[in-house]
Amino acid sequence: MNQFYSIITKEITLAARSGYELFFPILYLFIIIIFFNISISYAGKNIILELIPLMIWIACLLICVLNIESIFKDDYDDGSLEIFVIHNENLEIDILAKIFSHWLLSNFPVVLIAPFLSLLLGLDYDTSIVLFLTLLIGTPTMSLLGSIAAALTISLKKNKILTSIVVLPLYIPILIFGTSAVNNSFFNMDYFSELILMGIIFFIFLLVTPIACSKALRISLD
């Protein structure tokens, strides 16, 4: 447990010292939403209102995809990944700590801002809450999934597209459940079943990812 906290503290210290990189995800979110609103401004108001939470969801998904390769890259480049992996009895817990701190620093700010953004754009309170909840469950799942792909492709020089190709088809179910829940809430329909399904997917990947990731890391460091 001590190691868990020291990994998270280290990642937060490193992020604080890396300058303004922390704000890029929020900036991307604003850019996508602003440009989306500008481009569909001629459509009817009810259509725009219906599409906004879905667009915020897609923006969060794309930000997740953009950030996912950086989870192990720095450690691989300076040699800390080898020390992290070799003969580490608690590698699974340590990997979870790494993924959690990466999610906390890359995706969580976006998740926090998204409901306020949707309120700002005119959506009702309930839909914004559901948007926040679906993102809160969906983005960690996407981080977990993406980290397996990132672990498999670290040692490749040109891995940018490959990670995205591997990961995007797997993100589709999460996207469908998330946007379906938000859309149902917008039309005042029931959304609990989608939330529960997303929760189940999250827990499955919470159990599978550390094991898969540790194997993938050992293979790609070979």
Partner 1 sequence: MQEKIITTNNLTLYRNDTAIFSNISIDILKSQITNIYGHNGSGKTSLLKILVGITEATNGEVKNVSGDVELFNRTIYIGHRYGLKNNLSINENLMYLQSFYGVNQQQLIDKAIDIYGMTKYKNTLVKYLSHGQQKRASLMKTLITNSKLWIIDEPYSALDDEAIEMFNETAKNHLNNNGSLIITNHKPITNIFPNVINFKLN
Instruction: Give contact residues for partner 1 (rule: CB under 8 A).
Output: 2-3, 6, 10, 13-14, 17-18, 74, 77-80, 82-83, 85-89, 221-222
Report CA 114 to chain centroid distance, whole Å.
Answer: 13
Query: Where do the H-state alpha helices sit in the chain?
Result: 2-17, 24-39, 45-67, 70-78, 80-85, 91-106, 108-120, 125-153, 160-186, 192-220
Question: 202: which residues sit within 8 A by CB, 6+ positions away?
Answer: 137, 138, 140, 141, 144
Q: Which is nearer to partner 1, 82 or 124 (CB)?
A: 82
Nearest-approach distance from CB 126 to partner 1, in angstroms: 42
Q: Which is nearer to partner 1, 21 or 126 (CB)?
A: 21
Nearest-approach distance from CB 22 to partner 1, in angstroms: 13
Q: Which is nearer to partner 1, 2 or 41 (CB)?
A: 2
Nearest-approach distance from CB 98 to partner 1, in angstroms: 13
Structure tokens at 168: 């995007």
Q: What is the DSSP string of 107-122?
A: THHHHHHHHHHHHHTT
Nearest-approach distance from CB 156 to partner 1, in angstroms: 15
* 94: phi then psi, degrees, rounded to nearest 5: -65, -40
Nearest-approach distance from CB 6 to partner 1, in angstroms: 4
Q: Which is nearer to partner 1, 27 or 86 (CB)?
A: 86
Q: Which is nearer to partner 1, 168 or 221 (CB)?
A: 221
